[in-house]
Structure formats: structure tokens, C-alpha cells
Amino acid sequence: MKLPIITRRLYITRLDESMAESMHINSIDEDNRRFVPDEVFETVNDARAIIKTLISYYECDDKPLVYPIILNDGQNIGYVQAVPIFEGWEIGYHVARPFTGNGYATEALTAYLPPVMRRLGVDKIHGVCLAENAASRKVLEKCGFILAFDGPGPYQGKERHIRRYIWR
């Protein structure tokens, strides 16, 4: 996959260890704790350790592919990712709370989907969120994901009310 992926306001590139502090800060906001608690890094060292692991996955075909979202001014504001699941691949994303409501997640996801799907050799990708997560639902729908399921299902190790979308 050719990086960086550049849009009008941001770029998507590879992680590096210098991003540990911003990854830690971005991960500890209230929304991340509520919706994706397994992606909260309580310390900079925790973030650095996961960055090292995620960097090692870039050459793999069956591991999460996580890339930071960087504003044109250099601020790391979140990430986009593709994660292997039983049914194929799932898209994920997070924009830290100080940067939400500006369309960054939609812009990043729109730019990320075609190249990551080419890299993975897939023609569809899933998007899953809690039904109560109106912001994530809105991003998926703005990006053209189609609702495929609305009901109880596994989420973060618990049975929750989820929405599963598909993008082709």
C-alpha cells in the first residue's frame, strides 16, 4: 500500500515510536474508553509497546493494519485500521475528542478504504459499532457502508446491541 495517503486536510502514514505520547493521549478520552476500551493505553510506555507490535504487522497478511491520522500541521489525531475477523476484515477508526465533529474520520476512512482493500485483496469490508454510538454510525453511513445487521451480537467480549455494516 502506497503511503502516505494524502487528503485535503490530513495524511495517513505508518506508525513510528515517536508517536507514543500522542497515541496515549488520543486513546484516553471518554469516547474511546466507552466504545473501544481495549484500545486505551494508560501510559506512554503502553502506547510505545503496542506501536512496536503494530509496526511488526505491516508486512503480514493476517494481522491488524493500523495507521495514524495526521493533520497537515503534524498533529496526530487518531487512527484508521483494518482488522482480521472471522468473516473477513473489519474497518476501525478513532479521532480523539478534541478533533471530533470536523469530518476527519469520514475523510480518513474514505481515503483509506480503497488502498487497504487492494492491499488485502478483498472486495468487501465490515464496519461494526455499538448501536448507541451515533457518531460511528454516521461516519460509516457517510462513507457508503450499508447496514447489514442491527441487533444483539458480540462486542468487546460482551453481548451488546450492535450494528454491522458492509462496504463494497
Its domain, for residue 65, covers: 5-167
DSSP states of 132-164: T-HHHHHHHHHTT-EEEEEEEEEETTEEEEEEE
| pLDDT digits 0-9 by tens, 45-91 | 999 999 999 999 999 999 999 999 999 999 999 999 999 999 999 99
Q: What ranges in the chain are assigned the alpha helix state H?
A: 20-27, 30-35, 44-56, 104-120, 134-142
- Residues 68, 163: Cα–Cα separation, whole Å: 25
| Predicted model pTM | 0.95
Any idea what the CATH number is for the domain that residue 137 is in? Answer: 3.40.630.30
Look at the chain and report how many structural domains it folds into.
1
Residue 158, pLDDT score: 92
Average pLDDT rounded to a whole number, residues 39-45: 97
